[in-house]
Amino acid sequence: MSDQGPYCEYRMTVRVELPNQPGHFARLATIIAEEGANLGAIDLADARSDKTVRDITFDAQSECHAQRVVARLRTLQYVRVLSASDRIFLLHLGGKINTRSKVHLRTRNALSMAYTPGVARVSLAIAKDTSKAYAFTSKGNSVAVVTDGSAILGLGDLGPEAALPVMEGKVMLLKEFADIDGWPLCLGTHDVETIVRVVEAIAPTFGGINLEDISAPRCFEIEERLKKLLDIPVMHDDQHGTAIVVLAALLNALKVVGKELGRVKIVVNGLGAAGTACCRILLAAGVRSLIGCDRQGAVLRVIDDNLNEAQRDLRSCIHFDEPILTLRDALESADVLIGLSAANVLTSEDLRVMVEDRIVFAMANPDPEIPADVAAPLCRILATGRSDYPNQVNNLLAFLGIFRGALDVRAREINEPMKLAAAHAIASLVQDEHLSEELIVPSVFDKRVVRTVAQAVASAAHESGVARCRTRNGSGP
């Protein structure tokens, strides 16, 4: 890992014991400065006549850099390093989520109503009409966040235990931004059949299923089979959440450059889960000229001749072992490049073969397909997946409002009209007078996002016939 980069900041807190004599702390501070770390807070934890215990906080450039600083501190004579804590690990200590009771059990009467014998009446009512589970349990506001740990962030297959902190984070987002109760389920299997059976078996507990960090191509089959088996919304966020925000950002980017969606040539580089979903939603939104590239080059071309076929079954039109063009060839005269692949696979010369007013979404994380400082001078609009550059394409803008809207109307599924409605809702939050090359999507902290997307998704669910009620509390047909 490089010690440089705008995103590489690690804050460490080191507890040290040193003699209570002048000069010892100064030597410690000098070492921190010599190692290129930034000294931060200094807290006195204990003071005695012969020694002091202090908590020293410093910022390092990377994990390796932080460890190097701590190792150097351990070499100081008369100084004892008692502990060294990374702020990220401290934040995760004991996990990031828990459950809370909505009922206070302070009396025998309250206990008898919330649990036995009173709860039996509720169980019998639900047994007669299972739809009452939405009214009398947490089902209607609960989403299972399911993974097998096979594609954790950009780190690959790390296993279900390593996936748990990420899934806890997803649950935090659901609660914090959308008031949805999420439950992390990290499965100890990569077998498609087993995953489908497990999720099908636990589905009665939940109002929706959010599939997360499952590697391609298994994720496609898992999602499709569960959508057919279950009567609750199922969405693989890595696919559709990303695709929805890409479409929203593109709609606004095209406004800025004065072009129309149906008249531009788009190249998508990377045909994994997110890339394939992006192609699908772009075609559904009205794109008529699309080339998809993977490691071998261009393996998908959609124009008027095969547009209908691609809209019906996109993956049947992708021939991974039969490239028809190189990536550079595909970019000739392209208006838009959407990157969902890997770091540093593009050069400035690749971008120069595109037409003027280039729109480039370089979304590989943590490093984009081409360094932002190289791409920016060549593009009219540049977007990435990172928060330290303008125009962050972040699926947080999509999935929270989608599930909120789907749960509110007890939708049977999340369909294409609901996804398109979500994309248009996100785009609408940046008003025309505020649109610019560096502002094509709203902030993830914009409090309007979840509400606006949820309302659009709920309306689309009603219009497409998959809603089962009108309001969040379940009233109405």
Q: What distance in Å separates the CA atoms of residue 140 and residue 133, rounded to the nearest whole number?
A: 8
From 3.40.50.1820, 2.40.50.220, 3.40.50.720, 3.40.50.10860, which CATH number describes the 250-477 domain? 3.40.50.720
What one-letter code names the amino acid at 357? Answer: D
pLDDT in tens, 170-197: 999 999 999 999 999 999 999 999 999 9
Q: What distance in Å separates the CA atoms of residue 437 and residue 256, rounded to the nearest whole number?
A: 7
What is the predicted pLDDT for the residue at 9? 57
Whether the per-residue pLDDT at 6 is higher than 60: the answer is: no
- pLDDT-based confidence at residue 472 (cuts at 50, 70, 90): low
Q: What distance in Å separates the CA atoms of residue 275 and residue 369, rounded to the nearest whole number?
A: 14
The HSE-up count of residue 233 (CA atoms within 13 Å, CB side) is: 37
Q: Which residues are catalytic?
A: 115, 170
pLDDT in tens, 316-355: 888 888 889 999 999 999 999 999 998 889 999 999 999 9
Quote the pTM value: 0.85
pLDDT in tens, 379-438: 999 999 887 788 999 999 999 999 999 999 999 999 999 999 999 999 999 999 999 999
State whether the Cα torsion 184-189-191-197 is positive or negative.
Answer: negative
Least confident among 25-34, 88-97, 250-259: 88-97
Secondary structure string (H, E, C) spanning 203-265? HHHCCEEEECCCCCCHHHHHHHHHHHHCCCCEEEHHHHHHHHHHHHHHHHHHHHHCCCHHHCE
Q: What distance in Å separates the CA atoms of residue 342 and residue 228, rounded to the nearest whole number?
A: 33
**Within the chain, what is the greatest distance between any pair of CA atoms?**
86
CATH number for the domain running over 10-92: 3.30.70.260
pLDDT in tens, 262-302: 999 999 999 988 999 999 999 999 999 999 999 899 999 99
108-232: CATH topology is Rossmann fold (3.40.50)
Q: What distance in Å separates the CA atoms of residue 137 and residue 168, rounded to the nearest whole number?
A: 22
Contact 302, 323 (CB under 8 A): no
DSSP letter string, 351-374: HHTSPSS-EEEE--SSS-SS-HHH
State whether the Cα torsion 176-177-182-187 is positive or negative.
Answer: negative
* Domain map (residue ranges) of the chain: 10-92, 108-232, 250-477
Q: How far is CA 121 from CA 113, 116, 118, 126, 141, in A?
A: 10, 9, 6, 9, 22
What is the predicted pLDDT for the residue at 156? 86
- Map residue 331 onto helix, strand or coil: helix
Same fold, 108-232 and 250-477: yes
